[in-house]
């Protein structure tokens, strides 16, 4: 019966076995995974917008080629993750519809505008840096297709993080104006980057269950702390100041203490009222509609092929 199946399922999870698409799984596990992986996929795809915005204005041909490659990687990440979600028995059309209707979320960070070239550095360094901390942990997630997707994504993501840090380092070695531009980008992107890890553990609706099922391997607050600890040193090396007066080393904890996130802002942004939410979704809807003819052409071609084969 259901209870025995669920106990056997949990035993497999506890033994660190991966769950594969055709294995038995509780319906709530399947739903929770569809929710998390699809939101992760949407984040990768919507995340192309703030950076795509700068491809034509990158300061050198080299930077342009690198940024173009990076944005294409993000698209690829979205596609692996949509495929992983589809193994759970939901269609791509349903997933896109949930994004467009607002039923599915995507990472809050991509609702902030990229105003200057330094923002591309800050996004690579901080946003991709935060994404890696989370995704390294997800390489050990219990669902096989998700875990395997994360391995490749992490490799590419670490290149993204370095390209961002390199932009920041270059700006910090430049003129006063360039240094000010880099600092301004950090001032605007630091707090939203900390929000990427989600609410505090005590406020996190899905955490307890996701940790038991080993969908999540480390908690929102643990991962956020790890990110803060690594970023402080990276900022110091190139002379940037993180905009938090409460940031200081705590000898006893062996970690940096830091200030409180503006949770009102977080809640506004995840519920659709951040600076760019409407623009991001409108752009995705328009791109999806513009691409309708490609999907229709593929379907028509497939139908013709099948007709020919059945003659």
Binding site for ligand ACO (CB under 6 A): 35-36, 39-40, 43-44, 47, 105, 107-108, 128, 131, 134, 195-199, 204-207, 210, 220, 270
Residue 245, Cα to own-chain centre: how many angstroms?
A: 27
The Cα 278–Cα 76 span in angstroms is 24
Strands of the chain, DSSP E: 248-250, 255-257
Asked whether 120 and 164 are in contact (CB, 8 A), the reply is yes
Shortest reach from residue 263's CB to ligand ACO, in Å? 11
Bridge partners, residue 248, by sequence: 257
The residue among 263, 260, 100, 116 whose CA lies nearest residue 177 is: 116
Nearest 5°: the CA angle 61, 62, 67 is 100
Shortest reach from residue 40's CB to ligand ACO, in Å? 4
Residue with tokens 């949407």: 42
Cα distances (angstroms) measured from residue 157 to each of 55, 131, 163, 258:
18, 8, 10, 26
The residue among 89, 87, 108, 129 whose CA lies nearest residue 39 is: 108
**Sign of the alpha-carbon dihedral angle for 75, 77, 78, 84:** positive
Shortest reach from residue 81's CB to ligand ACO, in Å? 9
Shortest reach from residue 25's CB to ligand ACO, in Å? 17
DSSP secondary structure string, 173-230? TS-HHHHHHHHHHHHHHHHHHHHTT-S-GGG-TTHHHHHHTTSSSS-HHHHHHHHHHH
């Amino acid at each position: 019966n259901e209870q025995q199946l669920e106990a056997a399922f949990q035993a497999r999870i506890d033994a660190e076995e991966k769950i594969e698409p055709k294995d038995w799984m509780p319906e709530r596990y399947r739903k929770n995974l569809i929710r998390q992986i699809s939101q992760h996929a949407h984040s990768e795809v919507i995340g192309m917008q703030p950076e795509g915005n700068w491809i034509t204005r990158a300061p050198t041909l080299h930077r342009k080629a690198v940024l173009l490659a990076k944005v294409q990687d993000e698209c690829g990440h979205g596609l692996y993750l949509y495929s992983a979600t589809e193994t759970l028995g939901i269609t791509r059309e349903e997933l896109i519809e949930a994004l467009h209707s607002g039923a599915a979320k995507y990472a809050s960070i991509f609702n902030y505008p990229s105003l200057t070239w330094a923002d591309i550095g800050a996004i690579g360094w901080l946003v991709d840096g935060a994404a890696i901390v989370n995704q390294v942990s997800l390489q050990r997630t219990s669902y096989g297709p998700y875990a395997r997707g994360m391995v490749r994504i992490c490799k590419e993501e670490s290149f993204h993080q370095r390209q961002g840090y390199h932009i920041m380092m270059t700006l910090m070695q430049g003129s006063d104006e360039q240094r000010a531009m880099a600092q301004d980008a950090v001032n605007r992107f630091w707090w939203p980057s900390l929000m990427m890890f989600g609410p505090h553990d005590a406020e996190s609706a899905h955490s307890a269950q996701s940790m038991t099922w080993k969908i999540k391997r480390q908690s929102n607050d643990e991962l956020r702390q790890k990110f803060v600890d690594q970023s402080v040193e990276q900022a110091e090396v190139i002379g940037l100041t993180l905009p938090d007066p409460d940031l200081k080393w705590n000898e006893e904890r062996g970690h940096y203490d830091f200030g409180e996130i503006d949770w009102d802002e977080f809640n506004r942004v995840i519920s659709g009222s951040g600076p760019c939410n409407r623009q991001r979704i409108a752009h995705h809807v328009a791109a999806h509609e513009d691409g309708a003819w490609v999907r229709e052409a593929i379907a028509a071609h497939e139908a013709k092929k099948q007709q020919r084969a059945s003659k």
